[in-house]
Amino acid sequence: MKKILGCIRRACEDYNMIQDGDKIAVGFSGGKDSITLIYALKLYQRFSPQKFELEAITVDPGFKNMDLENAKSFLKKLEIPYTIVKTQIAQIVFDERKESNPCSLCSRMRRGAMHDMAKERGINKIALGHHLDDGISTLFLSMFYEGRINTFKPVTYLDRKDITTIRPMIYIPESTIITAVKKHNLPVLKSPCPVDKRTKREFANEIVKDFSHKIPDFRKRMLSCLQNKEQVQLWFKP
Ligand SMILES: Nc1ncnc2c1ncn2[C@@H]1O[C@H](COP(=O)(O)OP(=O)(O)OP(=O)(O)O)[C@@H](O)[C@H]1O
């Protein structure tokens, strides 16, 4: 946890993620990333120079096999307020629209439900569990499938809703999260999504893993690419 907390502190400082008085809700899927994030933020709250409130929100997409009882008791033990938003996203995406690319509609609807609940609860920041490997795989996905060099930002302000999204785990490799989950015995919820691990994203994740075995300091180099504003040399037309 020490390494994770160090990375979170550095990301928060580098990108001014947290301010005094923030009311932060972690988008809590129950998966390994968001469970690590909420556990770490709860610890970080103790020594963070900025004082902030913390809670958790789960958007329940309405899959029949999603059981949130363990999540409820885990968060209760940590004394973290917890809200579950019931939705019919699964039914709309899979049964009614029979989407061939379900992930994009699902995540848009999930984001909408999350923002609405956050507003209702007076939350001004939403923290998501994206980590360093997610940042790199999103960059690859965008290059391979969209023809552009792009990844999510560490901090995004949504004008329309007056809500800021922060990603405090952007400096943490996925393997560090997996180790922490095991070490602290965090009760991870298995994803109820029928297309989990069968998407383009999974393909990009495999590439990141493969490259990290073949290229020394691969993640470090990629992080430096993402932050190196001065040395972007591409084929811009004059
Ligand atoms: N149903 C949900 N309700 C609330 N927040 C969610 C939900 N699903 C995902 N999130 C948030 O969005 C982040 C990215 O979602 P994604 O679907 O890529 O999950 P992931 O990378 O498998 O993460 P996790 O291990 O937390 O499930 C998650 O880490 C979490 O913070």
pLDDT digits (tens, 9 = 90+) for 189-221: 988 888 776 678 889 999 999 999 999 999 999
Per CATH, the homologous superfamily of domain 2-228 is: HUPs (3.40.50.620)
- Locate 110 and state its tokens: 């999930």
Q: Is 137 labelled a binding residue?
A: no
Say whether pTM exceeds 0.80: yes
The answer, yes or no, to whether any atom of ligand 1 lies below 6 A from the CB of 128, is yes
Q: Please determine, for the modelled complex, whether the ipTM score is greater than 0.90.
A: yes
Task: Calculate how far, in angstroms, residue 103's C-alpha sits from the geometric centre of ligand 1.
Answer: 12
54 has a pLDDT exceeding 80: yes
Alpha-carbon distance 18 to 152, whole Å? 18
Scanning the chain, the segments in alpha helix (DSSP H) are: 2-14, 32-47, 69-77, 89-90, 102-120, 132-141, 174-183, 200-214, 218-227
The answer, yes or no, to whether any atom of ligand 1 lies below 6 A from the CB of 168, is no
Half-sphere exposure (Cβ direction) of 139: Cα atoms closer than 13 Å: 16
The answer, yes or no, to whether any atom of ligand 1 lies below 6 A from the CB of 112, is no
The answer, yes or no, to whether any atom of ligand 1 lies below 6 A from the CB of 39, is no
